[in-house]
């Protein structure tokens, strides 16, 4: 049994081959008149009526699309298929002068990172801060580290404040335990589940639990 991945790789290899062969064929001889268009794989006829949006001052509208080979920045050899070009020009109303630049994987990655960035502009910065703060937990606290944790407790990011509480739990000195217990004691009652004090109290309680388990 072939895996999907193998099958996709085969299809891709086949397309690359076909596009290369078609390119050569169209370049080497004037076969344009001989070809029975519909029967050529990797080639799609242009529907001129659907290309009216294109500015054709610079040249004739082509008669057909052919599979185009291109190399993505990542090094991947790809084919922009005639079918995809036809869709791009005639359905999406893209330009007939467009050329494919990035492979599917790179476009997908770009789309995802853009979506993440627009959803949460500080995402990368926060991740860095969390990593830095977590690293503090692995050593004994000095004044600088303690100051950093105090600063993190005032952060605009709740998740960073929670990490600060976790770091305090890892240190587990009498000072930290007193502070954690104060968080727990300040846990608000009532229905407002989104308040920070509740989240802080829960994180502190968890840290104290871990400490107690570690001592056993
Ligand atoms: Zn790529």
| Angle, vertex CA 25, rays to CA 12 and CA 46, nearest 5 | 75
Q: What is the average pLDDT value for the chain, to the nearest integer?
A: 85
**Same-domain check for residues 56 and 108:** yes
Q: Total structural domains in the chain?
A: 2
- The model's pTM is 0.46
pLDDT tens by residue, 111-136: 888 877 777 666 678 888 899 999 99
Among candidate residues 117, 144, 161, the one where a domain is terminated: 117
Q: What is the mean pLDDT of residues 126-152?
A: 91
Among candidate residues 117, 145, 160, the one where a domain is terminated: 117
Pick 93 or 162 by higher pLDDT: 162
Among candidate residues 117, 136, 156, the one where a domain is terminated: 117
**Same-domain check for residues 103 and 10:** yes
**Same-domain check for residues 142 and 94:** no
Q: Which long-range contacts (CB under 8 A, 24 or more apart) does 165-169 make?
A: 165/200, 165/203, 165/204, 165/207, 166/134, 166/137, 166/203, 166/207, 167/133, 167/134, 167/136, 167/137, 168/204, 168/207, 169/204, 169/206, 169/207, 169/208, 169/210, 169/211
Tell me the CA–centroid distance for residue 18 and ligand 1, in Å: 20
Task: Please measure the distance between the N-terminal and C-terminal CA atoms of the chain and give it in whole angstroms.
Answer: 53
Tell me the CA–centroid distance for residue 107 and ligand 1, in Å: 7
pLDDT of residue 28: 65
* Residue ranges making up the domain that contains 195: 121-215
**Same-domain check for residues 105 and 68:** yes
Model confidence at 38: pLDDT above 70: no
CA 172 to the chain's CA centroid = 38
Model confidence at 213: pLDDT above 90: no
**Same-domain check for residues 176 and 189:** yes
Q: What is the mean pLDDT of residues 126-149?
A: 90
**How much of the chain, in percent, has pLDDT values that exceed 90?**
35
Tell me the CA–centroid distance for residue 168 and ligand 1, in Å: 44
**Same-domain check for residues 17 and 70:** yes
Tell me the CA–centroid distance for residue 80 and ligand 1, in Å: 13
Beta strands in 98-185 (DSSP E): none
Model confidence at 57: pLDDT above 60: no
pLDDT of residue 202: 93
Tell me the CA–centroid distance for residue 48 and ligand 1, in Å: 31
pLDDT of residue 121: 64
Q: What is the mean pLDDT of residues 131-153?
A: 92
The helix (H) or strand (E) run that includes residue 80 is strand 77-80
**Same-domain check for residues 18 and 111:** yes
Most confidently modeled range among 59-63, 65-69, 149-153, 211-215: 149-153
Tell me the CA–centroid distance for residue 174 and ligand 1, in Å: 54
Tell me the CA–centroid distance for residue 175 and ligand 1, in Å: 52
pLDDT category of residue 179 using cuts at 50, 70 and 90: very high
**Same-domain check for residues 63 and 134:** no
Q: What is the mean pLDDT of residues 171-193?
A: 89
Task: Using a CB cutoff of 5 Å, list residues around ligand 1, an ion.
Answer: 72, 74, 76, 103, 106
pLDDT of residue 200: 94
């Amino acid at each position: 049994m072939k895996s999907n991945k193998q099958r996709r790789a085969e299809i891709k290899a086949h397309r690359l081959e076909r596009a290369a062969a078609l390119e050569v064929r169209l370049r080497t001889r004037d076969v344009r008149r001989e070809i029975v268009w519909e029967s050529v794989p990797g080639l799609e006829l242009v529907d001129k009526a659907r290309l009216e949006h294109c500015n054709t001052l610079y040249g004739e509208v082509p008669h057909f699309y052919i599979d185009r080979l291109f190399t993505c920045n990542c090094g991947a050899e790809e084919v922009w298929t005639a079918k995809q070009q036809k869709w791009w020009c005639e359905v999406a109303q893209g330009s007939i002068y467009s050329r494919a630049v990035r492979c599917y994987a790179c476009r997908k990655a770009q789309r995802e990172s853009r979506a993440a960035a627009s959803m949460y502009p500080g995402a990368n910065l926060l991740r860095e801060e969390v990593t830095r703060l977590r690293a503090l937990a692995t050593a004994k606290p000095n004044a600088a580290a303690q100051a950093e944790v105090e600063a993190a407790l005032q952060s605009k990011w709740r998740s960073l404040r929670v990490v600060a509480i976790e770091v305090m739990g890892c240190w587990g000195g009498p000072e930290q335990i007193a502070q954690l217990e104060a968080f727990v004691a300040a846990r608000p009652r009532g229905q407002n589940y989104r308040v920070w004090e509740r989240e802080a109290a829960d994180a502190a309680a968890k840290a104290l639990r871990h400490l107690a388990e570690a001592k056993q």
